[in-house]
Amino acid sequence: MAATHPSPPLKLTSVKALAESPGLSSIPSLYTFPKHTNDEVFSDIEESIPTLDFSLLTSANTDERSKAVQELGKACQDWGFFMVTNHGVPESLMKAIIEASGEFFELTEEEKRGFEGKNVLDPIRYGTSFNASVDKILCWRDYLKIFQHPQFHSPNKPPVFREIAAEYSKKVRQVAREILRGVSESLGLEDDYIDKTLNLEQGLQVLAANLYPPCPQPELTMGFPAHSDHGLLTLLIQNQIGGLQVQHKGKWVSIDPIPNSFLANIGDHVEILSNGKYKSVLHRAVVNNRDVRISIAMPHGPALDAVVSPAPKLVEDERNPPAYRAMKYKDYLEVQQSNMPNGKSCLESGQLLDSQDLIASEVIQFFAGLLGSTDDVVRSCSVAL
């Protein structure tokens, strides 16, 4: 008889509680991920992840800023990930938010359950895995997700959390908006195009604290499977325990943490806005059998009611038709966060990437080369129909 996976209980225990179970030597089958042929990690790549010196991006020297913008654009196009140094956020504050998050995860199971959310847009949401109500395989991860902007929220435990989170999120948001000005400029747009068009004054900022406890069989499970991020830009820090892997040129590359720096990556909505020039990149979290890893990811997105589509200036050329349909950010977020992570399936599905429209556009461009212009093609089709 074929082995079957038991259905998850209505109230799952946290991974932290499971990992601390006396005598735990193997993981429940619910946490076992299937192996794929492309799962091998390559650490001996010839190139290293790009680094953005934030102080040069914000320099009053136009030559320094121009060079930094060019390097930022290259990093977005080549990697989709980059380190951010000299960003001005105090190292003590970065350590404090990691420690405060660790204190939250040390609360009792009952205390933490008081912050469980029912909806993906709940402003405070504690849980395990990704979305345990729909996950077919559970991730070796507990999390706390908190909306920080446009309205600030915080759990009332531990007592130190609120003040630290408020200061940290404010400073990180300033860094994110400056980087996005550089991204906008690197695309040939006005430097405030993204900020104004997507209403970043009311943009969503989320603090996502992730706890990855030691696992007795780390090779069988995942802290977080391959996925891309919603929104525009994510800035991540961690407690100097590695575990993040990025897909670069079809290979998985381990990213070692650099002290007092952010790991930045562009999100799905930069890919949409740039009409695919800059791609959001698959990444994943693996676990180990020795150390607790804590990471703090801060995705920054448009305003929830903003409609995201390719920038008109980037699709004026007939050879570069729009590849993505317009969609409200809130709608995208609800779809992505309500389903188990599956690569970039949300972005690449018919919800955003309209393959039929792309094929039709390519046909039009082909006949435009024969007839002289797209208007001639449309007129010819109208006559035929």
Does residue 94 surpass a pLDDT of 60? yes
Q: Pick the residue with more confidence: 3 or 90?
A: 90
What share of residues in the chain are helix, strand, coil (percent, to 5)?
35, 20, 45
Residue among 146, 156, 157 at smallest CA distance from 123? 146
pLDDT per residue as tens digits for the range 100-149: 999 999 999 999 999 998 888 999 999 987 765 556 788 999 999 999 99
CA distance 377 to 194: 34
Alpha helices in 237-373 (DSSP H): 268-273, 329-337, 345-348, 355-371
Does residue 377 surpass a pLDDT of 60? no
Residue 47: which pLDDT band, with cuts at 50, 70 and 90? confident
Does residue 341 surpass a pLDDT of 80? no
Number of compact structural domains in the chain? 1
Residue 175 in domain:
yes
What's the confidence (pLDDT) of residue 374? 38
Average pLDDT in the 322-328 region? 92
CATH number at residue 297: 2.60.120.330
Residue 188 in domain:
yes
Q: Pick the residue with more confidence: 49 or 136?
A: 49
- Is 63 within 8 Å of 31 (Cβ atoms)? no
Residue among 281, 251, 288 at smallest CA distance from 43? 251
What's the confidence (pLDDT) of residue 365? 46
pLDDT per residue as tens digits for the range 193-249: 999 999 999 999 999 999 999 999 999 999 999 999 999 999 999 998 999 999 999
Average pLDDT in the 331-344 region? 69
Structure tokens at 267: 């999100």
Structure tokens at 243: 């575990």
Does residue 347 surpass a pLDDT of 50? yes
Residue 360 in domain:
no
Does residue 355 surpass a pLDDT of 60? no
pLDDT per residue as tens digits for the range 11-43: 568 999 999 999 999 999 999 998 865 566 665
% of the chain surpassing 70 pLDDT: 80
Residue 333: which pLDDT band, with cuts at 50, 70 and 90? confident
Residue 330 in domain:
no
The whole domain housing 29 covers 15-305
pLDDT per residue as tens digits for the range 252-292: 999 987 889 999 999 999 999 999 999 999 999 999 999 99
Residue 344 in domain:
no
HSE at residue 286, side-chain half, CA atoms within 13 A, is: 19
Residue 345 in domain:
no
Residue 347 in domain:
no
Q: Give me the chain's average pLDDT, please.
A: 86
Residue 242 in domain:
yes
Does residue 7 surpass a pLDDT of 60? no
Q: Pick the residue with more confidence: 319 or 64?
A: 64
CA distance 231 to 266: 8
Does residue 371 surpass a pLDDT of 90? no
What's the confidence (pLDDT) of residue 11? 54
Q: Residue 20: count other Cβ atoms within 10 Å of its Cβ.
A: 11
Predicted model pTM: 0.86
Average pLDDT in the 178-193 region? 98
Structure tokens at 79: 């990697």
pLDDT per residue as tens digits for the range 139-183: 999 999 999 999 999 999 999 999 999 999 999 999 999 999 999
